[in-house]
Structure 1
Amino acid sequence: MTDTLRSRTAALRDTLERQFQTHTGQLIELTAYSREPNHGGHDPDTLRALMETARQGIADSAGALRRMSEGTYGRCESCGSEIPVARLEIRPSARYCVPCQARQRG
């Protein structure tokens, strides 16, 4: 872990914890809507998509927090190189560097 990443880890952890809480709250709210007759004003397909997005956000945040505790946070899961701090500040749950992320999508 680079010195820059080490100095930013506390702030990134706070961000990830907030994201985890936000997505968890969203999923709880959306789950409640799914049980209502009018689905909280959402059509069922939109509600399912929103719930899946919240679930993915929970998984992404939890995974990044786990990597922090394991000491692997900030390393690309594909090539092992350092993920730039600027990328982690934009996407704290990033698992890949930009070139490897592009290959994952390709």
Structure 2
Amino acid sequence: MSVDMEATGQGRFAVVRTSLSEEFAAQTTRLQQLTTAADASEAHERAALLFATRQSLDQISGALRRIAEGTYGTCEKCAASIPPERLEVLPHARFCVPCQQKHHG
């Protein structure tokens, strides 16, 4: 996914929003499949997948909310711009690298 940080106006993050929305739909489908699976022998693995899927949905929802609010690409700790390269790799990033390192020790 390419993040066009130079674009302006309403469509500034349209590509990101579309990509995140598609990923949200895919993760929602995955979550539904995992919650309806009933194989007891895979319960531990399923629990880990459920946790990871829910975490992914939370991250995607947060990024979509920040796009809607106009705060996407801004660090939640220091309010600095998150570099486009970081958003390219991690489109749901909430923090710049220095703040992320401080946040997670």
TM over 0.5: yes
What TM-score do the two structures reach when normalised by structure 2?
Answer: 0.85
Kept after mapping to 1: 8 A contact 2:83/2:96:
yes
**2:42 corresponds to:** 43
**1:70 corresponds to:** 69
Q: Which runs of 5+ in 1 are unaligned?
A: none
Q: Deviations over 1:18-58 (max 9, x none)?
A: 1111111110010011xx2x24xx62111111001110111
| Compared CA separation, residues 27 and 3, structure 1 to 2 (3 A) | closer
What TM-score do the two structures reach when normalised by structure 1?
Answer: 0.85
- Alignment root-mean-square deviation, CA: 1.9
Q: Which runs of 5+ in 2 are unaligned?
A: none
**2:22 corresponds to:** 18
Alpha-carbon offset, residue 97 of structure 1? 0.6
Aligned residues: 100
* Paired residue type of 1:87: R
